[in-house]
Amino acid sequence: MKKTIIFTAAFALVLGFGIATKTVASDKGPAEMTLTTAAAKKPATFPHAKHQETLKCDECHHTMTADGKQGPYEAGKEAKCESCHDGKTVTNPKVANFMKAAHENCKGCHQANKKGPTKCDGCHKK
């Protein structure tokens, strides 16, 4: 009887971890995104799934600390970039608004790694 109870409890525990892991791992956001801003002339297309194949989330995403500085990425606490990069909240002019932050982060990464689009029509499709 004890063996049955222990086996059942162990099985339930393993099954529970399996389901929890699958749920967390499968919530990766949209495969492709269209990035827009209020002042955008042309939206940018962003292949999110393609980037997830080679990058970790914290290579692009981050949080904001209580003192208004860039903090470490925390899974599940994602917010729209524009919630801080709104032209008012972030004081660094290079990344003050979402467009500037995206150009600095995305284009900068592409240039540094010599991989990916760096010209306007690479992201902003006609």
Residue 35: beta bridge partners?
44
What mean pLDDT, rounded, does the chain reach?
Answer: 82
How far is Cα 51 from Cα 61, in angstroms, rounded to an integer? 12
- Average pLDDT in the 88-107 region? 92
Q: Which of these, 95, 97, 121, lies nearest to 108 by C-alpha position?
A: 95
Looking at domain 31-123, which of 3.10.450.40, 3.30.310.80, 3.30.43.10, 3.90.10.10 is its CATH number?
3.90.10.10
How far is Cα 103 from Cα 101, in angstroms, rounded to an integer? 6
111 pLDDT band (50/70/90 cuts)? very high
pTM greater than the 0.75 cutoff: no
Query: Taking a C-beta distance cutoff of 8 angstroms, is the pair 73, 58 a contact?
Result: yes
pLDDT for 29-86, tens place per residue? 889 999 988 777 789 999 999 999 999 999 999 998 888 888 999 998 888 899 899 9
At residue 93, does pLDDT exceed 70? yes
Q: In angstroms, what is the C-alpha Rg of the chain?
A: 20
pLDDT of residue 3: 62
